[in-house]
Amino acid sequence: SASAEEMTAGMDNVAHSSAEIAEQIGHMNSSMDEQGRMTESMAATAADLVRLSEEMERSVARFRVATGETGLVPKK
């Protein structure tokens, strides 16, 4: 009957839509996982930059000078 065919078509449409929604949720989960990995990578890079900055500051500190009786001298 026409009513049964319409019901079957509607159920097929719902099943198809549900499959599309499930696929999109899968894509969203993958994207969130990737964003998590990128955030971890950015945090590690930021920590490396802080460490390198501290190393540079220590290295530059060796070359600081002060004014002494004989002119510029290394600052202690």
Instruction: For the chain, give the percent of residues with pLDDT over 90.
Output: 72
Task: Return the number of other C-beta atoms located less than 10 Å from residue 14's C-beta.
Answer: 10
As to burial, measured by CB atoms within 10 angstroms (0-12 exposed, 13-18 middle, 19+ buried), residue 18 is exposed
Are the C-beta atoms of residues 61 and 68 closer than 8 Å to each other?
A: no
State the first-to-last Cα distance of the chain, in angstroms, to the nearest integer.
98
Q: Which residue has the tokens 């549900």?
A: 18
The pLDDT tens digits of the residues spanning 42-70 come to 999 999 999 999 999 999 887 777 777 77
pTM, whole model, 2 decimals? 0.58
Are the C-beta atoms of residues 72 and 66 closer than 8 Å to each other?
A: yes
